[in-house]
Structure 1
Amino acid sequence: MVGFSKHLGIFRRHAITFLMGFASGLPLLLTGSVLQAWMTDAGISLENVGLLALIGLPYTLKFAWAPLLDRFSLPFLGRRRGWLFLTQAALVGMLVMLALSNPAVTPLLVGLIALAVSFLSATQDIVIDAYRREHLPDNELGLGSGFYVYGYRIGMLLASGGGLMLADVIGFTSTYLLMAGCLAVAMLVTLWAPEPEAAAPLERRHLHQIFIDPLVNFMARPKAWALLLLILLYKLGDSVAGNLTTPFYKSIGFSNAEIGATVKIFGLWPLLGGIFIGGLLIMRWGIYRSLVVFGVLQMLSTAGFIVLNHQGHDIAWLAGVVSFENLAAGMGTAAFAAFMASLTDKRFTAGQYALLSSIMGLPRVVIAAPSGYLAQAAGWDGFFLVCTLVALPGLWLLIMIKDSVPRT
């Protein structure tokens, strides 16, 4: 009986982790590739579609308000669940407002609402990351991270692949309303989940300590600035290229349904396989060697888009290029997540992880914002060639700071 209760507790913890991962991944591409497709269909220029990357800016700045979610509690549901429930309720409301907007008539308003969705989604990520770290025992963090990633990817799949396919059938307005409904259901998980015990009485800390201590602790380590630069550069080429893949697919003749079925749904399995294979290889090779090998594979997979551009509208080539790119991305993501986790101090997990993940997101948001202008000026071949080559500085830096990267 005791063994059954123990297994039931483990199952509940990881079911909650999986479902929270789903809620975390659902809104991401609703302001990314799905919104890009909606804007493109509405006749918005490629340059302005590229600027939509700025909507993801809150993901890169979430470290700025993450400590406040540690410091203050709401008068209901506890520190973690209270903030999570409030954030999800506001997120559902913003998605409904986005659904009822028209990008062809008021593109600026759509962009502002999408920015609000992005801010709330980033806040949800902060709370869920902190909840996962506090809720799971140390010996279940690895397994829990796997469940979280799979839930996250399924949420992204539903929003992106399912969203694009649904948009061709019921339109973007109904699609966004449906996604808002899915997130509203996910709020029940927040009510079902137990409130974790806080690691420390944060209310007793001074406000400046909440903000400064995690940063001071990280910067005290050797070559801290080089490690931060590596986090910025490692996935630079992959992130910039990914910002315009949807307009690229549409420019060579693929429909929303073809993109949703091939890129989002079929492409999910190589991605999940890459995460799994990457995890196994990290156990065998360690973090450093994995980062090097997977970084090279990511660079080569970006060059595959040049090949696809010359093949044109060919589903088989699309599936092949996407499979290679997602397999490499999954392996790189597994290694990079392990790398960032290894750099955090358990006393400052929420603040430091928010900082590192914000820096990691900069290429996808700020640096990728003018990508539409680059693609317009250089053409698709030139654009993806530049994205391939900009992966080299990150690999070079990785070799230069070899001794500062954790091995296990």
Structure 2
Amino acid sequence: MPIPAAQRSWRASLAVYWRAPVITMLFLGFSAGLPFLLVFSTLSAWLRSAGVEVAAIGFFAWIGMLYSIKVFWAPVVDRVALPLLTRALGQRRSWMLLAQAVIAAGLVGLAATPPMGNLGWVAGFALLVAFGSATQDIAIDAFRIESADDDKQAAMASTYIIGYRAGLLAAGAGALYIAATVSWHAAYLTMAALVGVGMLTVLVRPEPARMTGSGKPVLEPRVRAFLRNSRHQPRLWRHFVAWIIGAIVCPFTDFFVRHGMKTLGLLAFIAVFRISDLAMASMANPLYIDLGFSLATIASVTNIFGIAMSIGGGMLGGLLVVRYGIGPLLVVGAMLTMLTNLLFAALSLMGDQLPMLVVTIIGDNLANGLASAVFIAFLSSLTSRAYTATQYALFSSLMTLPGKFLSGFGGLLVEAQSYASFFILASLLGIPAVMLAVWVNRDRDLYGKPAASGAR
């Protein structure tokens, strides 16, 4: 019988970090984190340094919405085999490798495209990187959930966050340092080369065992019923519709059946948990630059030092989830994320003050590291092993869509009002997340062990 979280010793809680699937997530987390800043804050720093207007930079944040609509092609990643690659590597690893190749190609394209006078091409290559990155995320999330039991998911989420932050460090501080000492062209070419870390991990680690029948929709009751009642229809049409039912319909109906009337509340909570953090992210680097901080200072404080803090927050979050459970930490994470965003408002009012920048980065990254590890563990607990890729893509897409959409208007609000007003408003957006986190914490059935099968 599994030991309840609250009864586990600290030693037993720490031992989980030495398991091979947990360590693997360090490298896959790096692969997932590397592209993100390169189409988001690092790209915004490049655009601002090149003289692009703040309002235009704000709209570039909408490129990140590709991460929020990945649920639309997640069923393809979940079920469609790639010629040659899937036979050699398996479903998850083949899609990861293809996505990484797309990311590298997009980064090379960005490296070859100066922003001024070429914003359309810059946007196009950034979209290619974001599409490859979102596709990689779908495959990595499924790989993670299928690689270990539920009691290891919090630790895997924690090491994933550590690796992810390391990827952010490379794409943030690393790219800024290279840009400051060499050029932006060299920075993006270097980042394209670092995609090889993920590729090597995919080739070295084995494909996880998938649940029997998860790749065969004909085994699901809804599919069997359709095939039974459509014998008079053309064979090709029947199998196409059967695939749609098994790959798209069943993952969604499974979640609604398991949670009933609470489903809408859960979806609302997923949508607002990170809205405060995501809504303000696009204006962080423009704030630092407009306050007068140098690229070297931004790289040192907000990336190297900041990511060290977020790694600490991620480790702490993963450890506390193993020790105390998910529910209480969801409340803590939501509150910390909301409150630490106010530090950016204070920084914007104080000006070019290095100590305040350090305090802001400490608070923001500790809070986000902890909240991210806890929330990944929460989303994993909601996911049925029969539909890992599609269901988790639904959750992670919903998690980022509202914040990414609002982030696109950040530049307009800053120009119309001020940075301080923008960050205060972004902080207030976190109030619904705190209220819904309290509700989730009070009802343990909402984040209990997910159903083993989505068949109904």
Question: Which TM bucket (shorter chain)?
Answer: over 0.9
Aligned counterparts of 1:331 and 1:49: Cα–Cα separation in 2 = 29
Matched with 1:212 is: 249
1:181 aligns with 2:220: no
Q: Do the aligned partners of residues 188 and 286 (structure 1) sit closer, same or farther apart at CA in structure 2, a change above 3 Å counting?
A: closer
Aligned counterparts of 1:32 and 1:313: Cα–Cα separation in 2 = 23
Q: SS state of the match for residue 417, structure 2? A: helix
Amino acid in structure 2 at the alignment position of 1:354: A
Contact 1:243–1:364 (Cα < 8 Å) also in 2: no
Q: Do the aligned partners of residues 294 and 148 (structure 1) sit closer, same or farther apart at CA in structure 2, a change above 3 Å counting?
A: closer
Q: Match for 1:330 among 359, 366, 369?
A: 369
1:331-370 equivalent positions in 2, closer than 5 A: 331-370=370-409
Deviates more, 1:237-246 or 1:32-41: 237-246
1:362-401 equivalent positions in 2, closer than 5 A: 362-399=401-438
Matched with 2:29 is: 21
Q: Do the aligned partners of residues 263 and 95 (structure 1) sit closer, same or farther apart at CA in structure 2, a change above 3 Å counting?
A: same
Q: Do the aligned partners of residues 143 and 233 (structure 1) sit closer, same or farther apart at CA in structure 2, a change above 3 Å counting?
A: closer
Matched with 1:39 is: 47
Deviates more, 1:196-205 or 1:56-65: 196-205
Q: SS state of the match for residue 352, structure 2? A: coil
Amino acid in structure 2 at the alignment position of 1:41: S
Aligned counterparts of 1:278 and 1:371: Cα–Cα separation in 2 = 29
Aligned counterparts of 1:349 and 1:267: Cα–Cα separation in 2 = 32
Contact 2:269–2:436 (Cα < 8 Å) also in 1: yes
Deviates more, 1:72-81 or 1:357-366: 72-81
TM-score, length-normalised on structure 1? 0.92
Aligned counterparts of 1:323 and 1:48: Cα–Cα separation in 2 = 29
Contact 1:72–1:203 (Cα < 8 Å) also in 2: no
1:226 aligns with 2:275: no
RMSD: 2.1
Amino acid in structure 1 at the alignment position of 2:418: G
Aligned counterparts of 2:80 and 2:417: Cα–Cα separation in 1 = 49
Amino acid in structure 1 at the alignment position of 2:78: D
Aligned counterparts of 2:207 and 2:385: Cα–Cα separation in 1 = 19
Contact 2:177–2:295 (Cα < 8 Å) also in 1: yes
Aligned counterparts of 2:199 and 2:52: Cα–Cα separation in 1 = 34
Matched with 1:98 is: 110
Aligned counterparts of 2:188 and 2:334: Cα–Cα separation in 1 = 35
Aligned counterparts of 2:47 and 2:393: Cα–Cα separation in 1 = 30
CA drift of 1:235 comes to 1.8
Matched with 1:319 is: 358
CA drift of 1:248 comes to 0.7
1:141 aligns with 2:178: no
Amino acid in structure 2 at the alignment position of 1:61: I
Contact 1:133–1:141 (Cα < 8 Å) also in 2: yes
Matched with 1:118 is: 130
TM-score, length-normalised on structure 2? 0.83
For residues 4-27 of structure 1, the C-alpha deviation after alignment (integer angstroms, 9 at most, x for no partner) is xxx9xx765444332122111111
Q: SS state of the match for residue 117, structure 2? A: coil
Aligned counterparts of 2:109 and 2:253: Cα–Cα separation in 1 = 40
Gapped regions of structure 2 (runs ≥ 5) = 1-14, 219-241, 449-456
Q: SS state of the match for residue 194, structure 1? A: coil
Q: Do the aligned partners of residues 395 and 58 (structure 1) sit closer, same or farther apart at CA in structure 2, a change above 3 Å counting?
A: same
Q: Do the aligned partners of residues 184 and 285 (structure 1) sit closer, same or farther apart at CA in structure 2, a change above 3 Å counting?
A: closer
